[in-house]
Chains A and B, each alone.
Chain A
Amino acid sequence: MTAKEFESTPSPHLTLPSSPKQRDLRAYLPHAIVWVVLLTAPLWMPLVGGYTLLATRVLVLAMAAMGLNLLLGYAGALSFGQAAFFGLGGYAAGETLMHLAPSTPLALLIGMLTGGVIAAILGPIAVRLRGIYFAMITIAFGQAFYFIVVNWNSFTGGEDGLLGFSRQPLHFDTMTVPLSGINYYYLTLFCFAVVAALVAALLRSPLGHAFIAVRENERRLQFFGVKAGTLLWIAFTISGFIAGLAGALYAQLNNFISPAALHWTLSGDFVMMCVLGGMRSFWGPLLGAGIYVVAENLLSSYTDNWMSLLGLMFILIVLFFPKGVLGILRVRVKA
């Protein structure tokens, strides 16, 4: 994966009065910076007082937020149930490692499928609703799964969470790669890059254009003979697959998964990451996840109330910079 793949990725919202060619060139640099920063993270993280595990955590959360952002930022539907697919993916990965086969790739695959398939099944119900009602029913879905996991003690470990699995070395033809902290970071980065590449390709496709059309003017889309409900269901399902994969990575990052990974407060955190970073920007969710993890670790060493500080920042961003941190930067560039 190189930055080159993203050479022509337009930010679908970026409508500078320039030709597509100029836009391609201008779009090249930010993508290159992002990939260089990510590829070298294990090298520079210790220099700024961080550690590799934190970087992996950022990537995992960013992946889930990026999936959510397909719905939230592009299709314009506020889902508050993303953590359900994330958590279920995590549990599915854990159970796979414990009962099915000691294989990390298999655990990732099953985690991803679990999140996606459940989203695909629930989607048709959710997409009948819009706005606040859509947000409400997605919370309801999420909480339903949360309580199932909490109460199903024998299978999920209940409130204590699921313990007793661990990520497994990767086997290639001639060698075996143990998933140490750094190697696991690069495995996560590989998954993140694949997801990011697919999302970027999707946003350049007619389907991606149609997502944005749902957000902008659903009624108009009807007159083009395209059903908004179908589009939202597709976005919901894709975001479920991505959340499931992220959850599977998350479970194996900690070798532990607890019901907190399904709780609606985590769904809210994903929404916050998108909004903080900039939900109209491709890299907004990544930046938002970065800010979130830094705040969580830096601020929490000073105060237990770090969430209220992050909340304050969230309010300020929403009030004054509705396009998020990347939105601020973009205005600077434009001006």
Chain B
Amino acid sequence: MSLLNVENVSKKFGQLAALSDIHLKVEKGEIRALLGPNGAGKTTLFNLISGMFAPTTGSIHFNDDEITQQSVEQRVRTGIVRTFQITEIFKELSVYENLRIAVESDMGISLRPWLGSTQKQAVRRRVDELLEATQLASKAYREVGELAHGDQRVVEVAMALAMSPRLLLLDEPTAGMSDHETEHMVQLIRQLHQEFDLTVLFVEHDMHLVFNLAQRITILDNGRWLAEGTPQEIADDERVQAAYLGGSAA
């Protein structure tokens, strides 16, 4: 039984077939990369999995439950949480305040006009844990908008983490980052994967990062499934080299 099972999924925007007949099985606990050139349909597939829109045909199962038609909110509740390509955070609030909003919505208490002290402490404890886990504790009271780009992306990951994800979808987690920041993010994803028993599916352009971080790789090309395997298998796959890698990673 796979944690995530995408079967025969196609998505058309008018006449344009963005995805055709995609299969994707992600097992519990793995780190999977979704790779492909621009326009391969990676982000479309992400949107289908996270519930931004429904597929034209095909089905998506999560933990054996069909979620094909579920809304974003419902999927978040069942543990499918994503980050965004463009950093989506509350820029004028502090790191602490950002995480507090995420924690409070995960606890289902966002509409409470007051909290007892036990619950207040529970919120505080969870925010502190997240700050600790993502090494943001020293920046807790800084305004997020003032942080370096790399740190903002880490805040975004920490907020996703606050939603108690079982499947964490990371859309280009290192986009626009310096080498140093990228290295930090990779280590962080590895560490969180272990610490929180996560399953991670990520989209990335950075080939080095993909081969470095992913346990398995799925390649999309032009809206179609092209290949799947361990980094070594992918690197050796002739179709992949011809279509995409152009020999550069061989």
Contacts and interface: CB of A to CB of B under 8 A. Distances in A.
A217 B88 CA distance: 8
Given A205-B112, A207-B111, A17 B92 contact: no
Contacts of B74: 225
Chain A interface residue number, banded: 20 to 34
B59 interface: no
Contacts of A224: 76, 101-102, 105-106, 110, 163
Interface in B178-215: none
B104 A216 contact: no
A303 interface: no
Interface in A9-34: 12-13, 15-20
B105 A201 contact: no
A222 interface: yes
A223 B90 contact: no
Given A13-B92, A19-B141, A225-B105, A209 B72 contact: no
B132 interface: no
Contacts of B105: 210, 221, 224-226
A212 B112 contact: no
A207 B93 CA distance: 16
Given A16-B141, A205-B115, A209-B100, A222 B110 contact: no
B94 interface: yes
Contacts of B123: 206
B77 interface: yes
B82 interface: yes
B97 interface: yes
B115 A15 contact: no
A220 interface: yes
B72 A217 contact: no
Contacts of B82: 223
Contact of A206 (B109, B141, B143): B109
Given A209-B97, A210-B101, A220-B90, A202 B142 contact: no
Nearest to A14: B94
A330 interface: no
B109 A225 contact: no
A221 B73 CA distance: 10
Interface string B57-83: 000000000000000111011000110
A213 interface: yes
Nearest to A225: B73
B93 A202 contact: no
A20 B114 CA distance: 19
B12 interface: no
A18 B141 contact: yes
B101 A15 contact: no
A210 B111 contact: yes
A87 B33 CA distance: 60
Nearest to A280: B92
B146 to A, nearest CB: 9
B113 interface: yes
A210 B110 contact: yes
B89 interface: yes
Interface in A185-233: 201-202, 205-210, 212-213, 216-217, 219-227, 230-231
A276 interface: no
Contacts of A216: 90-93
A210 B90 CA distance: 11
Contacts of A287: none
A209 B72 CA distance: 21
A139 interface: no
Nearest to A23: B141
A225 B115 contact: no
A207 B142 contact: no
A201 B113 CA distance: 8
Contacts of B76: 223-225
12 contacts: A15-B94, A16-B141, A205-B112, A205-B115, A206-B109, A207-B110, A210-B104, A210-B111, A213-B101, A216-B92, A224-B76, A225-B76
Interface of A: 12-13, 15-20, 201-202, 205-210, 212-213, 216-217, 219-227, 230-231, 234
Given A202-B114, A209-B100, A224-B106, 20 more contacts: A15-B93, A15-B143, A18-B141, A19-B141, A202-B113, A205-B112, A205-B113, A206-B110, A206-B123, A207-B110, A209-B104, A210-B111, A212-B93, A216-B91, A216-B92, A219-B88, A222-B73, A224-B76, A227-B73, A231-B110
Interface of B: 72-74, 76-77, 81-82, 88-94, 97, 100-102, 104-106, 109-115, 123, 141-143, 163
Which 5 pairs of residues, A with B, have the shortest CB-CB distance?
Answer: A224-B105, A216-B90, A225-B73, A206-B104, A15-B94
